[in-house]
Amino acid sequence: MPLLLILWMVIIPDHILFVKCDSIKGPNFAAPAVYVLGDSLVDSGNNNALPTLAKANFLPYGSNFPTGPTGRFTNGKTVADFVAEFLGLPLIPPYLSLRGFAQANQPGLNYASGSCGILPETGKYIGQCLSFGEQVDLLQLTIELELPRLYETKEKLATYLSRSLFAVSIGSNDYINNYLQPIYDTRTRFSPQSFAKHLVDTLSLQLQRLYRLGARKIFAFEIGPIGCIPSIARNIKHSGQCVEDINGWVLLFNDQLSWLLKNLSSQLPGSNFTLGRIHGLAYDIAKNPSAYGLRDTSNPCCTTWANGTSACILGLPPCPDPNKHYFWDGFHLTEAVYKVVAESCIWNSSICSPNSIKELVTV
């Protein structure tokens, strides 16, 4: 079974301030919609409509989701779902389920696609998926062809877009389903430093496209410590819990991403780019699970192919208490971890900076 996707865990120093709240729901602020772009960490069902091995529209995926399996690569909700709930919005539907059909009171659309990445070739050996550039292409169709039908003037549409949130979670697969794969020659052409720069430069062009399309409030998440996920930690010889060399590679990307977002915010008038500094948080959860109500940070909750290093096996029951597990399958996190990440980013401006999501929707 080939590598499917990734997750987005990550590293921040031990002194992180973690804000715990009993309910993630909050008042309906000024954000009328959320538009989601990324990979399997936030895919809400787009891959269901694509010819690919990277699918999650079967049990035990969705075991704890209200309607069962949806195509989300976890047992329940993703970070994007929790953000939508906090804003008082319905869960954001996958673009391919609606084919871009915009509706009145549109709460946004989700363009994310499992196994794909920033680079157009990433993950394509698994099957068809939507690269980040292709997702922006589809968003452009939505903005230019569909949304104008709902607004009387260009000014009203521009206001709607400027108040909406644009969430980006992308990049992990460019390592897992590209740089680390022997079928690609990427590692012979790029050092870890130059590959990180190549990714950030490519991402920069697409983020600037989002701005030109009318996006003003954009939050982009770091890549997590992918050296800790079972699909890597169980397949590469190393000492300790995680393959720290690989974690170091993605930190090169994260550092450059931070500078990119700062530069874009200073150069593009009216823009607010926020960085989701979730690398350190997710790494801390993996190392200190009891502080977050977790117990197992090594084993997938579901029974997977290839000794815990791949996707869940169709129909087999998961572990009895997924809320105590860090990993859902060989690549992805459980809903419990996604909720911790979402809560932290919503409330804490040291995790999502310079603005927490709560602050971002009010600026």
Which residues are annotated as catalytic? Answer: 40, 329, 332
Which are the contacts of 286, defined by CB distance < 8 A and separation ≥ 6? 9, 225, 228, 241, 242, 297, 326
Only one residue has tokens 């105590």, namely 324
Secondary structure element (H or E) that encloses residue 37, with its range: strand 34-38
Which are the contacts of 11, defined by CB distance < 8 A and separation ≥ 6? 225, 247, 251, 279, 280, 281, 282, 283, 284
Instruction: Map residue 36 onto helix, strand or coil.
Output: strand
C-alpha distance from residue 94 to each of 47, 113, 276, 326 (Å): 9, 9, 22, 25
Instruction: Kindly give the interhelix angle for 279-287 and 335-347, rounded to the nearest 10 degrees.
Output: 130
Task: List residues bridging with 36 in a β-sheet.
Answer: 110, 167
What is the DSSP annotation of 209-277?
HHHHHT--EEEEEPP--GGGSHHHHTTS--SSSS-HHHHHHHHHHHHHHHHHHHHHHHHSTT-EEEEE-
Task: List residues bridging with 211 in a β-sheet.
Answer: none
Q: How many H helices and E strands in the chain?
A: 12, 5
